[in-house]
Structure 1
């Protein structure tokens, strides 16, 4: 794993430039997208670059990592709604090429989501965040490292992490549908974004511990093309920043 310690703006700029370059080289690039606060700055940069006519998304295909179980697409806390507001409605992407796990028809989604992804050629560029407990997507500690798309019961720490997006923690769903750890590792290029002191312990563990189900993000150690992007706060517990 490569580590880059940059300012937030530098992180968002570098990743967005990578994506623009990829799309301009391969118009039907398949992007693996994440939600939460970590990637929003990247999406804002992509919108700016689209507005500046540096890139077109009309042939791009996207697959999101996860969705809350029980929320419809038009629910303002669903990840489909999030992606529409944070990226899709601001660029020229064909919504037929947009894929977010279905939080209602979960059984059908589990049967078809990853096979459809494979038919599209697999993920070229996967964006990840990391939870304070080391989860990626909604793969909580204890998730088998060889897992595929599945339903998960959310840990209290994860629901607490996400409660800021809801009126109260009681409104945060208790289950989600998520791509598994093995599914994520199939991405050709993976970038993980971690910003803020609340991610510092997870990042420290990621670099100092071995591969373990106790730290789902540790599965990334087995991938040959991963960059971990941290700001100074997220990297603050590492002994050698920028190494």
Structure 2
């Protein structure tokens, strides 16, 4: 694990974007293309803003993302498809964007995504860490064993509170009960993982992730076993580390 602590979330975003662009450009130079996974949420704002300033040939990049609520229309403020169209695809004309769709025939949507993501390895995954230490929507106790690429999960109360706290919903009752998520095992198959985790609300999750045993109750703890994991914190999110 490569740990970097910046003073502010903005500095964190710039440093992580430098590394992400370096990896993507290196893959394009070496193999002519790159495949990436993006995470969403308020914690990723500084990183995505900094990434917009990087020189990358996005026409050689295929993009996947981690999760989407079941039954939530793309027009909703909380839709991760909407988020990525506005905060990434607006400046990154990628070769192909494979967006998780929680509407319509969800089983077919998952099958199609699975076929595409399993076609070739993922070069770089941007994997945030939630306030309950979830990765994607793999809330505790997370399933570390399934061989599926995506699955439908029930969201726990802590996860729902985070979504309300970040302003995506007005109340817990408005948060959908289910979501489609990329599984832990599929995330861990990525060649490189970068995690951007700023803000004090993530400090306890970071302490648990780094200071405890690998545990399904702390889903992000599994990242410690990855051979090329880059963790970017700011002073606030690192405040509970020894």
Is 2:149 the counterpart of 1:144? Answer: no
**Deviations 1:187-230, CA, capped at 9 Å, x for gaps:** 10001121112111111111111111111111112211112111
**Offset at residue 92 of structure 1 (A):** 2.5
Question: Which whole-Å CA distance do the structure 2 matches of 1:16 and 1:217 have between them?
Answer: 21
Q: What is the SS of the residue equivalent to 2:21?
A: helix
Gaps of 5+ in 1: none
- Please give the TM-score of this superposition, normalised by the length of structure 1: 0.89
Please name the residue that 2:240 is paired with.
237
User: What residue number does 2:225 align with?
Assistant: 222
1:53-72 paired onto structure 2 within 5 Å: 54-72=55-73
1:188 and 2:203 aligned: no
TM-score if structure 2 supplies the norm length?
A: 0.90
Q: Distance in 1 between matches of 2:156 and 2:211?
A: 23
Q: What is the 5 A alignment of 1:127-206? A: 127-147=126-146, 148=148, 149-163=150-164, 164-206=167-209
Q: Secondary structure at the match of 1:88?
A: coil
Q: 1:211 and 1:155 mapped to 2: Cα distance?
A: 20
Q: Which SS does the other structure have where 2:93 is aligned?
A: coil
Matched, 1:78 2:79: yes
Question: Residue 135 of structure 1: CA displacement?
Answer: 0.5
- Most deviating of 10-19 and 188-197: 10-19
- The offset of 1:63, in angstroms, is 0.5
Aligned residue number for residue 43 of structure 1 = 48
Could you say which residue in structure 1 is the equivalent of 2:113? 113
Cα deviations by residue, 1:172-192 (Å, 9 ceiling, x for unpaired): 211100011101000100011
- Give the total of aligned pairs: 232
Cα contact 2:200–2:239 (8 A) shared by 1: yes
CA contact (8 A) 2:77 2:168 kept: no
Compute the displacement of 1:167 (Å).
Answer: 3.1
Cα distance in 2 between the residues matched to 1:75 and 1:99? 19
Task: Give the Cα separation in 2 of the matches to 1:230 and 1:110.
Answer: 32
Q: Which moved more, 1:219-228 or 1:69-78?
A: 69-78
